[in-house]
Amino acid sequence: MHNAAYDRGLAESYTSPETIGEMLQCSALWQRWSDILGSSQDSAFVANLREELSAARAGIRHRYWQRQARRDMREDSDLSYFDKMHARAESWADSQAAGYATGADSKISSMMSWLATC
């Protein structure tokens, strides 16, 4: 289900993160995905995920989007704005992960779709 939902997300995604807030959301979501994989007791599940959804890739994507957001900050940018957007992104990613944890197909598909966009 995860691989198929990710594939659908790739096929339906016509954009990639452009704003600092979107980049921070992607960073936070990939971090949550990494946490989910790290706590999984199902080694077969983890082994059968496509490479893009692996724990190693999740860590890389998390760091990539965090760096992109920081690069988009200009020297004269208000750091409080970055902090506010970071807090919002973390909260949003927490809610996505909580939805995923319910095991509902729609929540799993939603998270996979967001990861595909990121």
- Whether residue 1 has pLDDT greater than 80: yes
As a whole number of Å, the end-to-end CA separation of the chain is: 19
- CA separation (Å) from 66 to 41, 55, 84? 28, 17, 14
Q: Domain extents for the chain?
A: 2-117
This prediction's pTM: 0.92
| Euclidean distance between CA atoms 8 and 94, whole angstroms | 23
**Length of the chain, in residues:** 118
pLDDT band at 77 (very low <50, low <70, confident <90, very high): confident
- Whether residue 76 has pLDDT greater than 70: no
Q: Of the candidates 33, 39, 67, which has an alpha carbon nearest to the alpha carbon of residue 53?
A: 33
- Whether residue 35 has pLDDT greater than 90: yes
Q: Are 111 and 6 in contact (CB under 8 A)?
A: no
Residue indicated by tokens 């599940």: 45
Question: Tokens standing for 19?
Answer: 């704003």
pLDDT of amino acid 4 = 95
pLDDT digits (tens, 9 = 90+) for 36-68: 999 998 999 999 999 999 999 999 999 999 999
Q: What is the CB neighbour count within 10 angstroms for residue 85?
A: 19
pLDDT digits (tens, 9 = 90+) for 102-115: 999 999 999 999 99
pLDDT of amino acid 74 = 72
- By 3-state DSSP, what share of the chain in percent is helix, strand and coil, each rounded to 5? 80, 0, 20
- CA separation (Å) from 95 to 17, 43, 51, 98? 19, 25, 25, 5
